[in-house]
């Protein structure tokens, strides 16, 4: 049914830990790698390990990692036949995916059409609703220009509501509205911001959920009709919509409930002909899942799913892009034990001020059930130009308690000098009684931080 694109050399259009993660998967599968890097990243580990490395521009991402034409030129110059976009940067840019394929190369990800559909939250929600995935109740489509009609929709949905930009992302372009009297002004302001930030003023609205958890389902789909769901992740511990600590599975939710929503996601993928790795993000409150958006790329937190299923998601992406069948059935996928990921950032643990600089000591933890994904080595300089993620500690245990205990040991072993890190934040979170009970909501961390000061 599908043609089989074959490639032997992959350009990794990213940096940091994910570039190294992708490079490892390529090498494991016998594929050559091309590292592209900005002037600020010349000393990166994956650059040293690559078969071919090419500097693509200055530190500013707009002139290096976000330069689509430059990346295509780099692929041509180095003989790469495929591009893996990683996460962030161009990974969810449908035009880039199309341009890669138009250049006769393989984009390691979904089709441009799938990325475009999911990048517009209104079309994404519509597609999901049609495919039987439960969504947050709201306006079925864009808000009309007539304010009375908008009010009628909001009253029907019920206050509080959240007004959101269809083209929004990164936690921007949304506004909570408590009362009908504030609606008109909120709509006008959000439309203006959306136009400025995303070039698209289209809005929709949803019921604002008060105390939801963020629970997401990982999927992996080949081009032969197999769509698998790989369990759930709970990513409720967030600050300013940035995830801090994630775990798989979601504590306190019955496996049968997760299996039901997982099946819906897999079925939606079959219906839209989705290919590659993806994540369905849900808000979960009072036992109900409500879809908010889909990410059409590998995610930072993918390792906890790898630990609990034994499936290498990045190798899966590469094999799918080669046209190979996954060769695994849903019934073959185990959900083994529990896994936790702590994101290590070079920042103050409690003020969150970024802390760039040279790392003088970098002692990694080890032992049973501990994995560290990082591009950092002692002597590495954390640059101020990019996000502050310097690594991820991933623990796995037979039970959640064991995964927590192993993570606590790992955090105690991890020694970093030269920059500040958020290790102390993770340490305190893992000792927090509410976290240990499991199932805190998406506002918990910010409330917890506010109480400390
Ligand atoms: P983005 O693409 O910008 O990340 P999302 O639609 O994923 O936007 O929403 C980001 C965050 O905003 C969610 O993780 C949640 O914290 C909050 N949010 C979004 N929609 C709702 C809603 N209907 N009710 C409550 N919180 C919401």
Average pLDDT over residues 393-405: 98
> For residue 89, is pLDDT > 90?
yes
Q: Assess whether pLDDT exceeds 50 at residue 1.
A: no
- Rounded to whole angstroms, how far apart are CA atoms 318 and 271? 22
- Identify the residues whose C-beta falls under 6 Å from ligand 1: 136, 162, 168-172, 206-209, 212, 214, 241, 281, 283, 292-293, 442
pLDDT in tens, 11-37: 999 999 999 999 999 999 999 999 999
Cα 206 from Cα 139, distance rounded (Å): 6
Residue 217: helix, strand or coil by DSSP? strand
Instruction: Determine the pLDDT at residue 172.
Output: 86
pLDDT digits (tens, 9 = 90+) for 168-218: 887 889 999 999 999 999 999 999 999 999 999 999 999 999 999 999 999
DSSP letter, residue 180: G
Above 60 in pLDDT, residue 315?
yes
Predicted pLDDT at 141:
93
Structure confidence at residue 2 (pLDDT): 47
The Å distance, Cα 329 to ligand 1 centre, comes to 32
CA distances from 64 to 91, 145, 186 (A): 14, 40, 37
- Confidence check on the interface: ipTM exceeds 0.90, yes or no: yes
- How far apart (Å, rounded) are the C-alpha atoms in residues 266 and 259? 10
Centre of ligand 1 from the C-alpha of residue 141, in Å = 17
Ligand 1 atom 2 nearest Cα: 169
Q: Specify the ligand 1 atom closest to the Cα of 168.
A: 3
Given a contact cutoff of 8 angstroms between Cβ atoms, the answer to whether 296 and 316 are in contact is no
- SS3 of 108, please? coil
Distance from residue 206's CA to the centre of ligand 1 (Å): 10
Going by their DSSP bridges, the two strands 370-373 and 276-285 should be labelled as unpaired
Which DSSP state fits 319?
Answer: H
pLDDT in tens, 279-310: 999 999 999 999 999 999 999 999 999 999 99
Whether pLDDT at 148 is above 60 = yes
Nearest CA residue ID for atom 19, ligand 1: 292
Site to probe by mutation for ligand 1, drawn from 206, 212, 285, 292 as the one with most ligand atoms within 8 Å of Cβ, is: 292
pLDDT of 3 = 55
Q: In a mutational test of the pocket of ligand 1, which residue from 209, 239, 283, 294 has the highest number of ligand atoms less than 8 Å from its CB?
A: 283
Write the residue with the smallest CA distance to atom 6 of ligand 1: 292
- Residues with a catalytic annotation lie at 297
For β-strands 9-12 and 242-248, DSSP reports them as: unpaired
What predicted TM-score, i.e. pTM, was given to this entire model? 0.96
The mean of the pLDDT values for the chain is: 96
Would you state the pLDDT for residue 161?
98
**Backbone phi, then psi, for 347, in 5-degree steps?**
-160, 160
């Amino acid at each position: 049914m599908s043609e089989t694109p074959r490639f032997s050399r992959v350009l990794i259009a990213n940096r940091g830990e994910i570039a190294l993660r992708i490079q490892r998967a390529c090498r494991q599968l016998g594929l050559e790698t091309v590292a592209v890097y900005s002037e600020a990243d010349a000393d990166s580990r994956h650059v040293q390990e690559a078969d071919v490395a090419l500097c693509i521009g200055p530190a500013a991402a707009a002139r290096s990692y976000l330069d689509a034409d430059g990346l295509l030129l780099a692929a041509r110059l180095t003989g790469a036949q495929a591009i893996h976009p990683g996460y962030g940067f161009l990974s969810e840019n449908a035009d880039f995916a199309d341009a890669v394929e138009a250049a006769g190369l393989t984009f390691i990800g979904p089709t441009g059409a799938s990325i475009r559909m999911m990048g517009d939250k209104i079309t994404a929600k519509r597609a999901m609703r049609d495919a039987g995935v439960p969504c947050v109740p709201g306006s079925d489509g864009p808000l009309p220009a007539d304010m009375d009609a908008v009010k009628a929709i909001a009253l029907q949905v019920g206050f509080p509501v959240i007004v959101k930009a269809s083209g929004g992302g990164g936690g921007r372009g949304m506004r909570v509205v408590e009362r009908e009297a504030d609606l008109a002004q909120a709509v006008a302001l959000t439309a203006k911001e959306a136009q400025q930030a995303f070039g698209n003023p289209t809005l929709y609205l949803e019921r604002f959920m008060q105390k939801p958890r963020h629970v997401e389902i990982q999927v992996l789909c080949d081009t032969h009709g197999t769509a698998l769901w790989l369990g759930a992740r709970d990513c409720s511990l967030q600050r300013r919509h940035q995830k801090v600590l994630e775990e798989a599975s979601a504590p306190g939710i019955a496996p049968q409930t997760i299996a039901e929503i997982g099946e819906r996601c897999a079925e939606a993928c079959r219906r839209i002909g989705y290919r590659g790795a993806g994540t369905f993000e849900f808000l979960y409150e009072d036992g109900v899942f409500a879809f908010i958006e889909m990410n059409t790329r590998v995610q930072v937190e993918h390792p906890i799913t790898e630990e609990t299923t034994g499936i290498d998601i990045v190798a899966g992406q590469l094999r799918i892009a080669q046209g190979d069948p996954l060769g695994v059935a849903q019934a073959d996928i185990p959900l083994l034990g529990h896994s936790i990921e702590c994101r290590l950032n070079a920042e103050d643990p409690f003020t969150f001020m970024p802390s760039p600089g040279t790392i003088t000591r970098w002692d990694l933890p080890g032992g049973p059930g501990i994995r560290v994904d990082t591009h950092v080595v002692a002597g590495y300089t954390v640059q101020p130009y990019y996000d502050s993620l310097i690594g991820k500690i991933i623990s796995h245990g037979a039970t959640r308690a064991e995964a927590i205990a192993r993570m606590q040991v790992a955090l105690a072993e991890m020694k970093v000098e030269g920059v500040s890190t958020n290790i102390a934040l993770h340490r305190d979170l893992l000792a927090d009684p509410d976290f240990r009970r499991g199932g805190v909501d998406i506002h918990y961390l910010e409330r917890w931080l506010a109480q400390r000061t």
